[in-house]
């Protein structure tokens, strides 16, 4: 196996924490950091398609301002001067938002997501909008009928990125953004993080404001950071988490900082291991091995490890999630479906068509069942502090293997925590023999992000003591699916 890492001499290879240290000491200017990121976009985005659009001039102006602040000793904080990008379902004033769809947008172009405003207030530099499946919908298998080409995996562009925050995973892995913000409705932050070998955090439901984020399913949606390292994800989380009166689902309680305890280790932590979501499932050997190694690492760190089962089988989780997700999506997109469905890709059309016919009684039955499920999952977290489980049952498949692409998404372990709202993180756990990233997932009780990231940090320290971005080596490509 040979891995093509981006040279550590390239500023785009730096983690947020590393860049922050250099910016703070005056060894790096944010204009130079941004230029390195723009150069990466120029060099590799024709291959990986992480962006749908970016605003070079606005980013350069923001970098100039950040450089000036640094020169005057007035840096705002650790994200000041750091270039980032957001999934194209997050509204940004001045940069168009399309959610990867041909459907004409109805929103006010001045709408600016709270989370973007918070990042900009922290000095971070918005570079642009990242690729996504249409309105965050599908399994990735039929989104080749969209206007934009699918994002490709920086570790091997013939392979899938996972999604739906497909461009976010690709951008962070390739260094076309120092960090990214995705959205997660059933695993859409964690799956591309797993496929692209970066950290993807889905915080507790309601912890990060959804104001200015295009909805997909109100009951499950939540934004989250994708970052090169656990520390970077924490830095971004701390900048954007917190109450926002503009989001009716926003939690009013205070935010626990993550960084002060990040390196405190896992001694005494009770870890429940879910080796298979469904005992009948098979998991690729590289993922099984990563799971076993993670158990050893955590045990060596003083954690108590025991096998455990989730309260429901994956099919039961999916059965409850489906009517909620489909019905709410149809409610969101009803008018566009009636007026513009011919412009929609097949994945979105099919989802909405099912949503249109879900009976109200079934939708409500699912929401009632969800309340019971949340209580059962919560009870599980009385017995264990952290759950460890595979994120997916396979590494990122080839884009040409349609069934494997569908299975990567459909058989993943993303949905249970989206359904209940518990925080979960996908953490890189090395590479398989073909150089494709392997990941594990950790989850914990409500609002226990500090504990979650502490465990993630221990896992990261073992598997990726020096996290690196991908160089992106263009591979001879086979044609992907023809337009549907």
Going by C-alpha positions, the residue among 222, 226, 178 that lies closest to residue 203 is 222
Helix, strand or coil, per DSSP, at residue 22: helix
Structure tokens at 427: 């953490």
**DSSP output for 389-456:** EES-SS-PPBTT-HHHHHHHHHTSS-HHHHHH---EEEEEEEE-TTS-EEEEEEEESTT-HHHHHHHH
Q: Which of 50, 101, 164, 412 is catalytic?
A: 164
Binding-site member from 1, 110, 280, 361 for other proteins (CB under 8 A): 361
Nearer to other proteins, 119 or 380 (CB): 380
Query: Tokens in use for 349?
Result: 């059309």
CB of 393 to other proteins, least distance (A): 21
**In the bound complex, what is the minimum distance in angstroms from residue 155's beta carbon to other proteins?**
35
For residue 188, indicate whether it is catalytic.
Answer: yes
Q: Which residue matches tokens 């989850």?
A: 443
| CB closer to other proteins out of 40 and 349 | 349
Count CB atoms within 10 A of the CB of residue 171: 40
- Residue among 50, 101, 165, 188 flagged as catalytic: 188
Choose which of 61, 111, 246, 364 interacts with other proteins (CB under 8 A).
364
> How far is it, in rounded angstroms, from Cα 42 to Cα 36?
10
Residue 3 touches other proteins, criterion: CB under 8 A: no
Q: Please, where are the H alpha helices in 49-200?
A: 56-71, 114-121, 166-174, 190-196
Residue 116 near residue 74, CB atoms below 8 Å = no
Q: Are 143 and 345 in contact (CB under 8 A)?
A: yes
CB of 280 to other proteins, least distance (A): 17
Residue 87 is a catalytic residue: yes
Residue from the set 58, 305, 374, 398 that interacts with other proteins by CB under 8 A: 374
Q: From the CB of 277, what's the least distance to other proteins, in Å?
A: 17
Candidates 151-159, 271-279, 447-455, 468-476 — which segment interacts with other proteins by CB under 8 A?
A: 447-455
Work out whether 145 is an interface residue with other proteins (CB under 8 A).
no
Nearer to other proteins, 184 or 432 (CB): 184
**SS3 for 143?**
helix
Residues 283-342, interacting with other proteins (CB under 8 A): 315-316, 319-320, 322-323, 326, 338
Give, as ranges, the residues between 197 and 256 that touch other proteins (CB under 8 A): 204-206, 219, 248-254, 256
Strands 199-202 and 424-431 turn out to be: antiparallel
* Known catalytic residue at 164: yes
Whose Cβ is closer to other proteins: residue 258's or residue 297's? 258
Asked if 262 is part of the footprint of other proteins (rule: CB under 8 A), the reply reads no
CB 346 within 8 A of CB 142: yes
Question: Looking at the annotation, which residues are catalytic?
Answer: 87, 164, 188
Q: Which residues bind other proteins (CB under 8 A)?
A: 204-206, 219, 248-254, 256, 261, 315-316, 319-320, 322-323, 326, 338, 350, 353-359, 361-362, 364-372, 374, 381-382, 421, 445-448, 450-451
């Amino acid at each position: 196996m040979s891995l093509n890492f981006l040279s550590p001499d390239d500023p785009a290879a730096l983690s947020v924490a590393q860049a922050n240290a250099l910016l703070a000491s005056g060894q790096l200017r944010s204009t130079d950091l941004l230029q390195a990121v723009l150069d990466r976009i120029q060099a590799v985005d024709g291959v990986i398609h992480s962006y749908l659009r970016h605003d070079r001039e606005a980013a350069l102006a923001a970098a100039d301002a950040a450089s000036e602040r640094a020169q005057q000793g007035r840096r705002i904080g650790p994200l000041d001067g750091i270039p980032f990008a957001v999934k194209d379902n997050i509204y940004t004033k001045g940069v168009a938002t399309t959610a990867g769809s041909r459907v004409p947008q109805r929103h006010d172009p001045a709408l600016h997501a709270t989370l973007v405003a918070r990042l900009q207030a922290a000095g971070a530099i918005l570079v642009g909008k990242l690729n996504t499946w249409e309105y965050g919908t599908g399994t990735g298998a039929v989104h080749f009928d969209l206007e934009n080409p699918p994002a490709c995996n920086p570790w091997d562009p013939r392979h899938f990125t996972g999604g739906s925050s497909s461009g976010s995973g690709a951008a962070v892995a390739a260094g076309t953004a120092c960090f990214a913000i995705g959205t997660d409705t059933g695993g859409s932050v964690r799956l591309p993080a797993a496929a692209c070998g970066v950290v993807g955090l889905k915080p507790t439901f309601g912890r990060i404001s959804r104001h200015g984020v295009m909805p997909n399913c109100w009951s499950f949606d939540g934004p989250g950071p994708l970052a090169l390292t656990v520390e970077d994800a924490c830095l971004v989380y701390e900048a954007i988490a917190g109450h926002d009166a503009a989001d009716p689902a926003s939690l009013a309680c205070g935010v626990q900082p993550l960084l002060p305890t990040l390196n405190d280790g896992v001694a005494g932590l009770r870890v429940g291991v879910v080796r298979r979501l469904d005992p009948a499932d098979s998991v690729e050997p590289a993922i099984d091995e990563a799971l076993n190694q993670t158990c050893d690492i955590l045990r060596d760190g003083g954690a108590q490890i025991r096998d455990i089962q989730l309260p429901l089988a994956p099919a039961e989780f999916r059965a409850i999630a489906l009517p909620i997700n489909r019905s709410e999506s149809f409610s969101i997109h009803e008018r566009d479906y009636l007026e513009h469905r011919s412009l929609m890709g097949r994945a979105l059309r099919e989802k909405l068509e099912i949503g249109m016919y879900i009976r109200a009684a079934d939708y409500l039955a699912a929401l009632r069942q969800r309340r019971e499920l949340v209580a059962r999952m919560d009870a599980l977290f009385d017995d264990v502090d952290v759950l460890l489980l595979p994120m997916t049952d396979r590494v990122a498949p080839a884009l040409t293997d349609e069934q494997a692409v569908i299975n990567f998404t459909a058989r993943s372990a993303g949905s249970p925590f989206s359904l209940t709202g518990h925080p979960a993180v996908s953490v890189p756990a090395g590479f398989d023999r073909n150089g494709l990233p392997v990941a594990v997932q950790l989850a914990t009780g409500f609002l226990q992000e500090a504990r979650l990231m502490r465990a993630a940090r221990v896992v990261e320290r073992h598997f990726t003591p020096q996290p690196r971005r991908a160089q992106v080596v263009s591979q001879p490509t086979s044609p992907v699916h023809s337009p549907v």
